[in-house]
Amino acid sequence: MRQVFNMPDVGEGLTEAEILSWHVAVGDTVTVNQIIVEIETAKAAVELPSPYAGTVAALLVEPGITVEVGSPIIAISDGADEPAGAPAPAEPVAAAVEAAAEPAGAKIGEPGVDGRIANLVGYGPKPGSVTRRPRTPRVGAPSTPSRDSQHTESAAAPAVSTPPAVSTPPANSTPLAIEPSPKLVPLAKPPVRKLARELGIDLSAVTGSGPNGVITRDDVRLGGAPAANGATAAPAPASGGTGGERRVPIKGVRKATASAMVSSAFTAPHVTEFLAVDVTPMIELRDRLRASAAFSGVKLSPLTFAAKAVCLAARRTPEVNASWDDAAQEIVYYDHVQLGIAAATPRGLVVPKIRDADTLSLRELAEALGELTVTARAGKTSPAEMLGGTFTITNVGVFGVDTGTPILNPGESAILALGAVKQAPWVVDGQLAVRTVCQLALSFDHRVVDGEQGSRFLADVGALLADPGLALTY
């Protein structure tokens, strides 16, 4: 009996995910809760465990392909109802359609009518039927049924392949009206479709040379009729040229970040203010704490002190820890700071959260930042860890950048950019001296935060970094 595992909704109502890599192959034996695949959603990379035990019968989606939630991705056989040595299905997609559907009415953690327990959220949707474009036969090649038709007709008697009879209609006969067959969607990945549009090529007139008839870039460049809009195909770039380009599909974290930033930039009226701060006392305090037993084994960075300063300053200016609810026409003020830390990862920008950061001590903030950074760099940040933020810090200083104009995370009213901490000339008591200086930049939603409130908050953060002893007065 083959069980089909559908792409689950890993949380937060996401509709699609990309297969990054399979941890199993066809023929491998898997156990329940064994990690079988890594996927990437618009939020993060997630490892999925197997809900079934048995042998991998088919991997239904190749790495790099984005599929919708509820689509079949792997078939696992328990071998109970299959004869020994039974061959695997010729087409994985057909095997997915043939597989048994999810037990009707089964709830998470409860057995269905067939006794199987649904133990993962989101794998319940039934797979829809999949229509594939048949391969275009080569000229002179014998006509053979497609693998899909072979599979669906396997129960029928074997057909004898005979040449089709050719008949000549009488001279006075009326030609029969032939109903047009439904238009089949050519098999091609999104970058190839985009290239075809740019070159004005009709994909239905292109023969695919890739696996299962998939159309490749070379297929598009080498031939094909002009598209219906009358555009002509542009010549393929000459080999050996000095120019070149590389195209990367916009998907996953990059796609989600772009959408969120565009939405934020054109929804919330941004105001950005800047402040240069002499943080020499903060650096001196950091050095003393590093040498103390209380902070042994903890990484103390300027970001840790900035996080603490933000949490303290937000007490005096609660507007920076609020959000504009346009639907309800309300401003929502939050009791605690859900502090987002922007982190650059190989897959793009993610913003995991430190929950209730305002309730944590300086050491606890340092530990939370350390764990957050390690998890983000490993690409293991879960979607739930990136939701529900109320304020964000982006540490552009780690890249040697002095300052910037950060864009708000959607749903938040303020974001602080922490610039590079470096030595610079500074006037102290009327005398020019070399001090450790840092630039701060605060962007805020002017619907929620007035100029006076934003200025006061930024000044408070700067004052706490310039004189950490002020924290005792908060």
- Catalytically annotated residues: 446
Give the alpha-carbon dihedral of 79, 85, 90, 96, to 10 degrees. 0
The first and second tokens of residue 428, run together, are 């102290």
**CA angle at residue 147 from 145 to 148, to 5 degrees?**
100
Q: Which amino acid, residue 450?
A: D
The first and second tokens of residue 129, run together, are 């039927």
**Cα(450)–Cα(436) distance, integer angstroms:** 31
- Spatial neighbors of 379 by CB under 8 A, at least 6 apart, are 44, 45, 345, 346, 347
Backbone angles phi, psi at 321, to 5 degrees: -110, 50
| Backbone torsion region of residue 200, taken as left when φ is above 0, otherwise alpha when ψ lies between -120 and 50, otherwise beta | left
Burial of 62 (0-12, 13-18, 19+ CB in 10 A): exposed
Name which of 67, 61, 64, 52 is nearest 10 in CA terms.
67
Number of other residues whose CB lies within 10 A of the CB of residue 37: 23
**Cα(114)–Cα(100) distance, integer angstroms:** 10
The first and second tokens of residue 407, run together, are 């864009």
